[in-house]
Amino acid sequence: MGFTRRKLKEFQLRDLLHLVTLSNGANFSVPGAGKTTVTFALHLLVRTPGQHLFVVAPKSAFQAWRDIVSECLADDAPKAVVEQFTVLDGREQETAQALASGITRFLMSYDLMIRQQAVIATHFATHPVHLVLDEAHRMKAGTLSQRGAFLLKIATLPVRRDILTGTPMPQSASDIESQLDFLWPGHGLGVQVIRGKSPREVLGKLYVRTTKQELDIPEATRKFLDVDMKPGQLALYSIVRSEFLSRFASQINRNMGQAQIMKARRSVMRLLQLSVNPSQALSAMGNDDYKISSGIADAVIEEGHSAKLTAVMDHARALAHNSEKVVIWTIFTDTIRSLASALADLNPVVLHGGVPSGSPADLDTREGHVRRFHVDPNCQVLIANPAAAGEGINLHTVCHNAIYADRSYVSTHYLQSIDRIHRLGLQPGQKTCIFVYRSKAPREVGSIDLSVSRRLTKKIRNMQQLLDDPDLHKIALDEEEADDPVDYDITPDDLIDLIQELEGKAAPSTGDE
């Protein structure tokens, strides 16, 4: 078929050979293992005349699918297989016209898919379609989300279904339920998981997984750096924490209403923001119900950047001074902007949900920002949101340092962001360094960064047990063995006195000190 430009590696051939034996397949290989290449080769082997290939993917993955045909097939490959992918990104009528035009390879985003359900379902019902879901964990909510509900509804229509994701269980075992029911509808595999059967036992040999160890990638090192909160930050954090407990401690359970869950999530995000960027959190709290005294607000504003954010910036400058590029990850867009402004001397580029996709030649696009980070020696820092940039970009040829100013509870964001700099293509012996900054808090108050660490460990362990991946074991072990970001030197009385002092309620000094 002319598949000669890209030679399949041994582990790719192994995965391909197994997937060919399955009527529908799951490829859970790590990023960089060539899931796109293997899936394209699989399609060439199993396709029948007139069969369509329909790929649903996040926009960040589009370029890989656009390039795959020319990267794998020779110029003299048979005309029947050299067709490029057509991106479906127009109105519903334009999509319908493209699907009926006689072309057979299509690429569409998850967001557009749920807006054009009728035309897609009709096409699947009337044409032989090989449907591929890239980053398939995006349907993990199943019937609770529009994309999951639609995909489960049409699951029996395509003649073949394949899912690709390196993180099939980002939150819990239930995440894989909808993916199993999409691949093998009517077999009850998802129900078995919900009833407590281990996902690994349910899946058996119905999937493939290439690990980083099999890719022979030099091991990454992870270091946890815990930083004390400043007084104003600690006081504000403690008040918000106490308010959170008084509102939700007696209400949190699996039967909570959606409105209460949303309120609790907002409070959690506020605590996460306070741990890294208290002045921005204070500005955003105008619409919250918290009663914050002017003394505490003034102290937070006067302190400016948190000690943790200052440490992150100092670290980035030290790396840049040694001519080492670095990617800084934060879950908050406001923190991205704060870092970009403060690190202007390092000529940073930023990636978040507000940066549009486009041509690499356009410096205002996501692709343009990534290209500048690669080719401009004066651009030493990339500041990014893992939710927006954790997929679809490769930084490992120019950057070997990642700093986490904060992390969310979503294991996918953490694991996939690491894979931007730690993936196939690294030179032998290349060091990859991961630095995780966490805010320390008194034991009685608790550190939300420690809570994130514990929950990420649990979720990564679950995936490790499913996928039998030694790299996931090492990541979880590093989390478990790190010192807790707890300040044992501050007592509850110290904290009460600090808050009273900043609120102007402290008793006058006797002068005995």
Instruction: Annotate 199-210 with three-state secondary structure.
Output: HHHHHCCCEECC
Tell me the C-alpha distance between 185 and 202, whole Å: 14
392 vs 410 pLDDT, higher one: 410
pLDDT confidence of residue 488: 72
Count of other CB atoms within 10 angstroms of residue 286: 7
* Domains 10-210 and 217-226+307-487 equal at CATH topology level: yes
Question: What pLDDT, in 10s, does the model give residues 171-192?
Answer: 888 889 999 999 999 999 989 9
pLDDT confidence of residue 375: 96
- How sure is the predictor about 501, in pLDDT bands with cuts at 50, 70 and 90? low
As assigned by CATH, the class of the 10-210 domain is alpha beta
Tell me the C-alpha distance between 25 and 205, whole Å: 10
Does the pLDDT at position 195 exceed 90?
A: no
pLDDT confidence of residue 510: 54
pLDDT confidence of residue 509: 55
Does the pLDDT at position 369 exceed 60?
A: yes
240 vs 403 pLDDT, higher one: 403
Question: What pLDDT, in 10s, does the model give residues 228-268?
Answer: 999 999 999 998 888 888 777 666 655 666 777 777 788 88
- 166, amino acid identity: G
Count of other CB atoms within 10 angstroms of residue 285: 17
Q: Is the pTM of this model over 0.75?
A: yes
**Is 281 in contact with 232 (CB distance < 8 Å)?**
no
pLDDT confidence of residue 420: 93
293 vs 39 pLDDT, higher one: 39
Does the pLDDT at position 72 exceed 60?
A: yes
**Is 85 in contact with 65 (CB distance < 8 Å)?**
yes
Tell me the C-alpha distance between 497 and 499, whole Å: 6
Task: Classify domain 217-226+307-487 by CATH number.
Answer: 3.40.50.300
| Average confidence score pLDDT of the chain | 90
Average pLDDT over residues 14-27: 97
Does the pLDDT at position 511 exceed 60?
A: no
pLDDT confidence of residue 505: 66
pLDDT confidence of residue 359: 84
pLDDT confidence of residue 289: 67
Beta bridge partners of 399: 325
Q: Alpha helices of 332-489 — where are they, by DSSP H?
A: 333-342, 366-375, 386-389, 411-418, 448-467, 470-481
Question: What are the domain boundaries of the chain?
Answer: 10-210, 217-226+307-487, 229-303+492-503
Question: What pLDDT, in 10s, does the model give residues 198-237?
Answer: 888 999 999 999 999 898 889 999 999 999 999 999 999 9
Does the pLDDT at position 160 exceed 70?
A: yes
| Burial class for 79, CB neighbours closer than 10 Å (0-12, 13-18, 19+) | exposed
- How sure is the predictor about 435, in pLDDT bands with cuts at 50, 70 and 90? very high
Report CA torsion sign: 495, 500, 502, 507. Answer: negative
pLDDT confidence of residue 249: 67
pLDDT confidence of residue 299: 92
Among 28-32, 153-157, 256-260, 363-367, name the one with the lowest average pLDDT: 256-260
Does the pLDDT at position 513 exceed 60?
A: no
Question: What pLDDT, in 10s, does the model give residues 112-129?
Answer: 999 999 999 999 999 999
Of 324, 427, 301, give the one whose Cα is nearest residue 382: 324
Looking at the chain, how many residues does it have?
A: 513
- How sure is the predictor about 506, in pLDDT bands with cuts at 50, 70 and 90? low
Does the pLDDT at position 288 exceed 60?
A: yes
pLDDT confidence of residue 425: 86
Among 246-255, 427-436, 464-473, name the one with the lowest average pLDDT: 246-255
